[in-house]
Structure 1
Amino acid sequence: MSREVHTIKCKAAICWGPEEPLTVEEIEVEPPQSSEVRLRLLFASLCHTDVIRRSGFRYPLYPRILGHEGVGVIESVGKGVTDFKEGDIVIPSFIGECGDCENCKSAKTNVCLKYPTNFNGLMADNTSRMSVKGQKLYHLFWCSTFTEFTVVDHNYIVKINPELQLAHASLLSCGFTTGFGTAWKEAKVHRGSSVAVFGLGGVGIGAIIGAKLLGASKIIGVDLNNRKKEKAEFFGMTDFINPKEIENKTCVEMIKEMTGGMGVDYSFECSGAGSVVNEAVEATVMGRGITIMLGGAEKNASISCLALLGGRTLKGTTFGGIKPRSDLPSIITKCINKR
């Protein structure tokens, strides 16, 4: 006989409005409904996307619990959930993978048509499982990890090997994996190629590691913060540019000098700054350069069409092209093996 599942009271960080400081308050988390699980969060991490959502960009939904990077243990399961059980260690994901839709069967994309990203801050039945002071709380995507307990649709969680350090598992649920996956699945970086990474945060470091593992011979990192140089070099960066310290040259000109005047084969925009997108495109080689935008650039970003007329390619990505259930296990194995 299954145990009775009750509403839980716990602590969570609440976002009450644009740019307002988060406040830690007691909330109520309801039992999981059909096709849902309730998680006890073990670790959570911060992503630039959380900062953007806090500001209200695209969907100003408040009060809200932010956070979409995390790892947790299943505390209880709702009706119809048969592939997970209490005690499983899982990563919540902001995209799903049904395995059956046209996109999932394709090798071209990881954007599932049956289980897409959720932007309305509610569960599948358009209600919330969390509240504060009697007021409905909006989720972030299907996740909301800045809380001790959360409820997630089971189609958006991935069971993980518990041998992985769980603090590291949190970083795999978005930032690092987005960068790593972009080099691996989206760009398909080839051996001996040249790469430029704009922005050396968690996403950028992931792109550097992916490019190195795939055999890139030159990996140029670009960042305004010199403190990131040493860590990026440890993970495989070969050259570093701080645009603030360049005299009489642009960042693009510096990159072309480092690549025999041609530009890099691949560039990854990981900073989130709209003005950087065009630099990333112009830094690639004419005719075959590929730029991938990962940073969630602000809404007023503009793209120069002239830079693309020379045969360059610019594309966006979701989660670095990674399919949560098909691809994450191999990344987890690489982490366990310290690759």
Structure 2
Amino acid sequence: MDDTVGKSISCKAAVAWEPGKPLSIETIEVAPPKAKEVRVKVLYSGVCHSDLSILNGSLRGRFPIILGHEGSGIVESVGEGVTDFQAGDHVIPLYLPQCNTCRNCKSGKTNICEEFLGKTHAFGLMSDGTPRFTCDGKPVYHFMACSAFSQYIVLPHMSVCKINNTAPLEKVCLLGCGIATGYGAALNTAKVEPGSTCAVWGLGPIGLSAVMGCKKAGASRIIGVDINPEKFELGKKFGLTEGINPKDHDKPIQEVLMGMTDGGVDYTFECIGNINAMRAAFDSCHKGWGKTIVLGIAPTAEEFSTNPISFTLGKHILGSIYGEWKGKDDVPKLIEGYNKKEILLDEFITHTMALEKINEAFDLMREGKSLRTVINLWPDTVLTVRKSEL
């Protein structure tokens, strides 16, 4: 890697030139890292629904953009002032940074670093107000500081987590977003109690990881709500005890659930991003103590509403981002959980394919034919690279 230090690198990346269009495999230039930045050779990346939400325009993004935020890779070089990483380190990019110096990071009350809320992060730029990607001389913007659909990326050092070199990069990349999100929502946000009853709307990767978290917490009943009944058998691998298809009932699903659970569910999780499902999940909660955790990301223009009397009756609705994990502190702990078989990762991976087939990965997601597709960005060389670094 020494021959690339301090120089721009040409590599392949999947570029989204505009909303609603397929990704285009391009040769891009990746600038060397500046002060407090790290350049990473990305080996693997999961394809997450948040990437699709930007691509289809339901969430705002700045185009052209390189998507991807469930990555894993090896540090290629570091910029001036970076002392916590060196070339050869195995790392996970963090879409939710951890600076440890802002008011939010110091508070101990949230994992939402103020850098995540800053304009540069939201606008696809680095801290100096410029991107590190160009294609044919034109700027290409970053996605949540990660852009893991590129063979090389540059990140702020606060957006990188060092992991053990023995961790399987083709699996632990998934801890960069979805799996950690649902799992943490059950354990950290809801704080599910042993013996409680939980219901999960949407049995995709986030929903199934919420099921996994509820099981870890000791819930006695974990009910899946999905219009695809095939998901119920799958969900049993992760801890699901039963499933309900709203299409099988002639009354609202909240009425069905309240009848099944003696007046309401203790904890509900909305993992779809559908405002009607959010309302149903909230209405299904037990009065006095029920909690609804909203994990699904609804289109930017939509609004959720409910009758305020529900709040005076002691019901709660909470949001959760990245399962309330702090990336630098907690990703290594999540990897330990995987090693102990407390966290399932292999079971989420339904497809693995090369970067050139990334549009097929999005098609599989749209059609509901995949849980997680992992993109292998270096299919001809990655295994050799991994062995040489161990």
Matched residue, 1:258? 260
* Residue 313 in structure 1 maps to residue 316 in structure 2: yes
Q: Partners in 2 of 1:44 and 1:115 — Cα distance?
A: 21
Matched residue, 2:219? 216
Q: CA deviation at 1:102?
A: 3.6
Fraction of identical pairs, as percent: 42
Q: Quickly say closer, same or farther: Cα 1:24–1:2, change in 2 above 3 A.
A: closer
Q: Partners in 2 of 1:107 and 1:155 — Cα distance?
A: 17
Q: CA deviation at 1:3?
A: 7.2
Q: Quickly say closer, same or farther: Cα 1:297–1:59, change in 2 above 3 A.
A: closer
1:164-214 CA-to-partner distances (Å, cap 9, x unmatched) read 322221110000000011111111111111111111111111111111111
Q: Partners in 2 of 1:5 and 1:102 — Cα distance?
A: 33
Q: Which amino acid letter does the alignment assign opposite residue 323 of structure 1?
A: K
Q: CA deviation at 1:45?
A: 0.8
1:77-107 CA-to-partner distances (Å, cap 9, x unmatched) read 1111110000111111111223344432334
Which sits farther off after the overlay, 248-257 or 37-46?
248-257
SS at 1:44 equivalent: strand
Q: Partners in 1 of 2:254 and 2:164 — Cα distance?
A: 42
Q: Which amino acid letter does the alignment assign opposite residue 33 of structure 1?
A: K
Matched residue, 2:82? 81
* Residue 136 in structure 1 maps to residue 139 in structure 2: yes
TM-score between the two structures when normalised by the length of structure 1: 0.94
Runs of 4 or more, structure 1, over 4 Å off, are 1-4, 114-117
Mapped contact 2:291–2:317 kept (Cα < 8 A) = yes
* Residue 242 in structure 1 maps to residue 245 in structure 2: yes
Give unpaired runs (5+ residues) of structure 1.
none
SS at 2:337 equivalent: helix
Q: Partners in 2 of 1:40 and 1:27 — Cα distance?
A: 14
Give unpaired runs (5+ residues) of structure 2.
343-390
Matched residue, 1:281? 282
More helix by share: 2
Q: CA deviation at 1:330?
A: 1.5
Q: Partners in 1 of 2:144 and 2:128 — Cα distance?
A: 14
Which sits farther off after the overlay, 30-39 or 251-260?
251-260
Q: Partners in 1 of 2:34 and 2:102 — Cα distance?
A: 25
Matched residue, 2:122? 119
1:37-71 CA-to-partner distances (Å, cap 9, x unmatched) read 11111110111111111234453411110111111
1:199-258 CA-to-partner distances (Å, cap 9, x unmatched) read 1111111111111111111111111222322221111011101222x2322211222222
Q: Partners in 1 of 2:313 and 2:186 — Cα distance?
A: 23
SS at 2:122 equivalent: coil
Q: Partners in 1 of 2:140 and 2:334 — Cα distance?
A: 33
Q: Partners in 2 of 1:213 and 1:172 — Cα distance?
A: 17
Q: CA deviation at 1:125?
A: 0.5
* Residue 189 in structure 1 maps to residue 192 in structure 2: yes
Q: Quickly say closer, same or farther: Cα 1:145–1:2, change in 2 above 3 A.
A: closer
Q: CA deviation at 1:313?
A: 0.8
Q: Partners in 2 of 1:42 and 1:253 — Cα distance?
A: 47
Q: Which amino acid letter does the alignment assign opposite residue 256 of structure 2?
A: M
TM-score between the two structures when normalised by the length of structure 2: 0.82
Mapped contact 1:255–1:264 kept (Cα < 8 A) = yes
Matched residue, 1:93? 94
* Residue 158 in structure 1 maps to residue 161 in structure 2: yes
Which sits farther off after the overlay, 168-177 or 92-101?
92-101
Q: CA deviation at 1:116?
A: 4.3
Matched residue, 2:22? 21
Q: Partners in 1 of 2:47 and 2:280 — Cα distance?
A: 26
Q: Which amino acid letter does the alignment assign opposite residue 318 of structure 1?
A: I
Q: CA deviation at 1:29?
A: 0.8
Q: Quickly say closer, same or farther: Cα 1:331–1:4, change in 2 above 3 A.
A: closer
Aligned residues: 337
How do 1:56-75 and structure 2 match up within 5 A?
Answer: 56-75=57-76
* Residue 179 in structure 1 maps to residue 182 in structure 2: yes
Matched residue, 1:332? 335
Q: Which amino acid letter does the alignment assign opposite residue 149 of structure 1?
A: Y
Q: Which amino acid letter does the alignment assign opposite residue 253 of structure 1?
A: E
Mapped contact 1:164–1:335 kept (Cα < 8 A) = no
Q: CA deviation at 1:113?
A: 2.7
SS at 1:234 equivalent: coil
Mapped contact 1:95–1:116 kept (Cα < 8 A) = no
Q: Partners in 1 of 2:242 and 2:140 — Cα distance?
A: 45
1:94-142 CA-to-partner distances (Å, cap 9, x unmatched) read 1122334443233431112355462110111010110111110010011
SS at 1:151 equivalent: strand
Matched residue, 2:7? 6
